[in-house]
Amino acid sequence: MTGVLVLVALALAFPWGAALVARRLALVLPPREACWALTGAAVLLAGGTIAALVGLFQVPFLASLERVSLPRVLEAWPAAVPFACVAGVVMLVQLVLLLRRWARHRSLLKRAWRTVGEGTGDGDLLVIPAADVDAFALPAYRGWPGRVVVTSGMVRTLKAGEREVLLAHERAHLAGRHHLLSAVTDLAAVVHPALRGLRTSLAFHLERWADEGAAAVVGDRRLAAAAIARAALAGSSHGRGGGYPLLSAMSGPVPRRVEALLLPAPTAPRGRARRAGVVALAGTVVGAAVAALGLAYGLHEYVEYAAERLIGAR
């Protein structure tokens, strides 16, 4: 049983280190690549965690499937049933939390679509008559295509060029399907507490991705920086705050985003040393996630081997 517990402990501990490395990796990548790296790491690490719990949960049952009595199993592994029960309870709690989080996502999206029913506009733009300074990307819902939602208060706050930046930013969210990346990472964070940091990091890099898209559309990085700053300041007391499923230009650490827009556009890492560093970081993230899955698989193999030994000792 000691070997089983060691394998489970290693599989469950891996996400803490791997999540930290993934966040470091994201800082040296362009925004789009950073978002995919963070989402991929979240999925792999969540999968490894679930696999480890499933392996621990089935320990007392593998032997019973081979017609080994439960008393004989407990004689060899006294803690098999308690640990299996703990794993089962954890997975049940995870399932409940996942369903609640998904229901919350759907409820927010449904409520947002009801809110914009009174909006007017053309194409993908909807303007809501409201004094609040707000704007967000509204994902597709039940056959309705995605929309860029802006309040009349926001329209009055921004100048013409700044409004163009804001609309381009929200359209970048819709075009890149950023709400899906955000949703996947948000749900993965329910599985393991270490992944919550990936959710926060992803929110920042998704906004950076949209910022860069807006800057490319208007062709003026300083204008883009000024528009983001003005929108965030004007909407600080009324803004929706961003997050799945409603991604907003006013969310995230705005000063860092503005500072990045005042610098040259990010590019893929150059130089042998920098490339080596990125490869090393990426390899560590993927390696840690694969190791977690491998440990879970090893756990299954270990349990099957132990069950065969029990059968032979009968």
> Which is more confidently placed, 44 or 58?
44
Going by C-alpha positions, the residue among 53, 299, 248 that lies closest to residue 132 is: 248
Quick: pLDDT tens for 186-227. 999 999 999 999 999 999 999 999 999 999 999 999 999 999
> Which is more confidently placed, 112 or 312?
112
* pLDDT, position 79: 66
Quick: pLDDT tens for 168-178. 999 999 999 99
Where does the pLDDT of residue 237 fall: very low under 50, low under 70, confident under 90, or very high at 90 and above? very low
260-265: Cβ within 8 A, 24+ apart: 260/208, 260/211, 261/211, 261/215, 261/221, 261/222, 261/224, 261/225, 261/228, 262/221, 262/222, 262/225, 265/212, 265/215, 265/216, 265/221
CB 48 within 8 A of CB 289: yes
What residues contact residue 103 under an 8 Å CB cut-off, 6+ apart? none
Report the distance separating Cα 146 and Cα 191, nearest Å: 29
Q: Is the pLDDT of residue 74 over 90?
A: no
What residues contact residue 270 under an 8 Å CB cut-off, 6+ apart? none
Mean predicted confidence (pLDDT) in 91-112: 90
> Which is more confidently placed, 208 or 17?
208
Radius of gyration of the chain (CA): 24
Quick: pLDDT tens for 290-307. 665 665 566 556 555 655
Q: Is the pLDDT of residue 122 over 70?
A: yes
* pLDDT, position 302: 58
CB 14 within 8 A of CB 292: yes
What residues contact residue 11 under an 8 Å CB cut-off, 6+ apart? 48, 49, 51, 52, 292, 295, 296, 299
Q: Is the pLDDT of residue 5 over 70?
A: no
Cα 223 to chain centroid distance, Å, stands at 30
Q: Is the pLDDT of residue 8 over 60?
A: yes
Helix 80-115 / helix 178-191 crossing angle, nearest 10 deg: 150
